[in-house]
Amino acid sequence: MSSALDKVEGNIFKLNSQELKNNETLPNSQVYNGYGCKGGNVSPDLSWINAPKNTKSFALICHDPDAPKENGWYHWLVVNIPISVNSVKKGAKIDNSLETITDFNTPGYNGACPPKNYGIHHYNFTIYALDVEKIDVNENTAPIEVERIVKSHAIAKSTLTGLFERK
């Protein structure tokens, strides 16, 4: 479903990936390695196009709204991504950006690992175009607070959703 933040000046701000396919099962490389999961725990390659002209930075959030926890589960938060950046390679970090803690209580990418027999989970990778160069957070800012601040400065967004289930 499209929202006002998805459409920008006649173009669609769009998040793409060679490996992650929208609404398909996550590749094993994006699955966590721990808590009974045996994946690669590697972030996917991502790229984005058609950011609004007034974009000053980007933020990237991976969130599982289906987790049995209030506000879901945050798997990856990257903020203060420079306007000159429009992609991240598989498993790479983004220069001159900040990764904040996730619900695993560590910064950086932490892959899918839902509870067993809890159904299909949706892992929403969302890129936000922001109206500020930097948001005022640090590595230990709570994920829900990072997302709140990001959304308050968002002028466009695009999401790719990966699915994963543990039986």
Residue 100's domain spans which residues?
Answer: 4-159
User: 79: pLDDT confidence band, cut at 50, 70 and 90?
Assistant: very high
Residues 6+ apart with CB under 8 A from 143: 74, 77, 100, 101, 102, 103
Residue pLDDT, tens place only, 97-126? 999 999 999 999 999 999 999 999 999 999
Residue 63 lies in a domain: yes
Residue 166 lies in a domain: no
Query: Strands, E, within 9-120: which ranges?
Result: 11-12, 14-16, 24-25, 33-34, 37-38, 46-49, 57-64, 73-82, 87-88, 98-99
Q: pLDDT at residue 9 above 60? A: no
Residue 41 lies in a domain: yes
User: The domain that contains 70 carries what CATH number?
Assistant: 3.90.280.10
Number of domains in the chain: 1
Q: pLDDT at residue 1 above 50? A: no
pLDDT at 50: 96
Residue pLDDT, tens place only, 45-71? 999 999 999 999 999 999 999 999 999
Overall average pLDDT of the 87-99 stretch: 97
pLDDT at 8: 47
